[in-house]
Amino acid sequence: MMDGIPDIELPPRDNNRRETLKTIASAITGSALLSTLPWLSPLKAAPAGKSPSDKVRLGLIGTGSRGQYLEEHLLKTPGAEIAALCDVYPPHLQAAQQKIGKPVTHYKDYRHLLDDKSVDAVIIATPLYLHAPMCLDALAAGKHVFCEKSLALTIPECKAVARTASQSPKVFQIGHQRLFHRATLYALQQVKAGDLGPITQIRAYWHRNVNWRRPVPSPELEMLLNWRVHRKYSAGLMTELASHHLQVANWFLDSPPLACIGYGSINYWKDGRDVFDNVNVIYKYPKGVSFIYDSLSSNRFYGLELQIMGPKGTLELETAKFYAENPPPAPGIIQLINQIERGTLESVALADRSWVPDLKKDTKGTPLPEDPDHDDGTGLSMAAFVNAVRLGEKSPAMIEHAYRSGVAALMGVIAMEEGREVAWPGGYA
């Protein structure tokens, strides 16, 4: 037991997906956190049976790399049946079909898929500029919707989708898998238990050394396959990467940002792209808390991390560790051995320095419990969506998470592009 959350004993790895999900869900949703995590409650539903009425028939719109990643999880999710696929690029469509192992209906135009009365819900894993029109059309067609992050390409579109989803009787879920990530849930409990003291600052970075530009078989496919590097279709690093960390910052601080400032540049990938390859943004939150974010795509040495800091300690959520600000001292004999090994036995100094460098005291940290199968939360998020559709159980909190993270990411883009402070634009009602 850790801070009120029961330890999770998972079944053997060769057990089926149904039992694994049921065991994890039972432990997490049995905790004191459930009342603040309503999007987890569908996981408590009885496992899907073999009856057709227990099956949720899904249409997958967008079968690129992310769509196929979600597809792999859906194929292991009890109660889920992929009934239709949609993509305008045949190679992606064919690859997705091969994973299913049996023929399903194919569509090139997503609107034709929405006309399919046998499809209960859609999974949208398309380029960002298509999220808003597809979500709005799907909700209008009476479909339940799971949409990959970030919510939309513009703030007005974010407002429109969030407003429509809140008024619809259908389930709407955003693809922020950290909402279902075991270590992140434990970290939230530590924050609520006061293990950090009040949050005083959050820092996050996501560094890669990769060119988003992909080789294209023919010039007319440039915009289709390389949409991430074109501002007309993408908002770049802020929506593709920063939106994940912004969602967690908003969640742990229980507030959207008040305002932000930032700088961005294209300082390495000079290949005709018009989205930044280097971004630096500072967000202002209530009570004087700042969230400092940077991302670049020309150096991966530091990788990615999200650090939540308070006077008592630091949580690093990507490496899933807690670092105490004042860790308990080691037993005397261990200290002595350490000093001998380092050759630093205390001696009387004739002259001593007047300051001591502020180096890390706790460099080992305490690991947060993680899923032994290394699920980043995507598996549970798929199970929660499918069960929410089975139960007809909406979670308005999910819409708020989608809206806050989507808008916050776009605030950063506007701040960098226009060289000004950007204030929170208000809610979507």
Same domain assignment for residues 122 and 253: no
352 located within any domain: no
CATH number at residue 48: 3.40.50.720
Name 94's Cβ contacts closer than 8 Å, sequence gap at least 6. none
The structure tokens listed for 129 are 């500029």
Burial of 306 (0-12, 13-18, 19+ CB in 10 A): buried
Same domain assignment for residues 366 and 233: yes
Instruction: Specify whether the CB–CB gap between 227 and 127 falls below 8 A.
Output: yes
pLDDT number for residue 316: 97
- What is the tally of structural domains in the chain? 2
pLDDT number for residue 372: 75
The structure tokens listed for 2 are 């850790």
Q: Report the alpha-carbon distance of residue 388 to residue 144 in Å, rounded.
A: 9
Q: Report the alpha-carbon distance of residue 36 to residue 387 in Å, rounded.
A: 19
DSSP per-residue letters across 307-373: EEEETTEEEETTTTEEEESSPPPPPHHHHHHHHHHHT------SS--S------S--S-EEPP--TT
Same domain assignment for residues 102 and 194: no
Q: Report the alpha-carbon distance of residue 292 to residue 51 in Å, rounded.
A: 50
Mean pLDDT of 204-232: 96
More confident residue, 36 or 277: 277
Measured between its terminal Cα atoms, the distance across the chain in Å is: 41
Same domain assignment for residues 190 and 320: yes
Same domain assignment for residues 137 and 286: no
355 located within any domain: no
Backbone CA torsion sign across 312, 377, 78, 151: positive
pLDDT per residue as tens digits for the range 112-125:
999 999 999 999 99
90 located within any domain: yes
Q: Report the alpha-carbon distance of residue 295 to residue 264 in Å, rounded.
A: 10
- Of the pLDDT bands very low, low, confident and very high (cuts 50, 70, 90), residue 45 is confident
Q: Where are the alpha helices (DSSP H) in 168-235?
A: 182-192, 222-225
Q: Give the domain extent around 60.
A: 37-179+376-394
173 located within any domain: yes
Same domain assignment for residues 298 and 380: no
Instruction: Specify whether the CB–CB gap between 114 and 137 falls below 8 A.
Output: yes
- pLDDT of 64 higher than 80: yes
Lowest mean pLDDT across 50-59, 204-213, 215-224, 413-422: 50-59
41 located within any domain: yes
Same domain assignment for residues 96 and 192: no
CATH number at residue 263: 3.30.360.10
- Determine what percent of the chain is predicted with pLDDT higher than 90: 77
Ramachandran quadrant class, 408 (left: phi over 0; alpha: psi -120 to 50; beta: rest): alpha
pLDDT number for residue 373: 75
For residue 33, the one-letter residue type is L
Same domain assignment for residues 48 and 134: yes
216 located within any domain: yes
Angle at 93 between CA 89 and CA 98, to 5 degrees: 155
Same domain assignment for residues 95 and 80: yes
- Determine what percent of the chain is predicted with pLDDT higher than 70: 85
Same domain assignment for residues 186 and 232: yes
The structure tokens listed for 137 are 């059309």
Same domain assignment for residues 381 and 369: no
Same domain assignment for residues 125 and 272: no
Please choose, from the candidates 423, 403, 413, the residue with its C-alpha nearest in 3D space to the C-alpha of residue 236.
413
pLDDT number for residue 359: 73
pLDDT number for residue 48: 85
The structure tokens listed for 334 are 């261990």
The structure tokens listed for 236 are 């770049």
165 located within any domain: yes
Task: Read off the DSSP letter of residue 275.
Answer: S
20 located within any domain: no
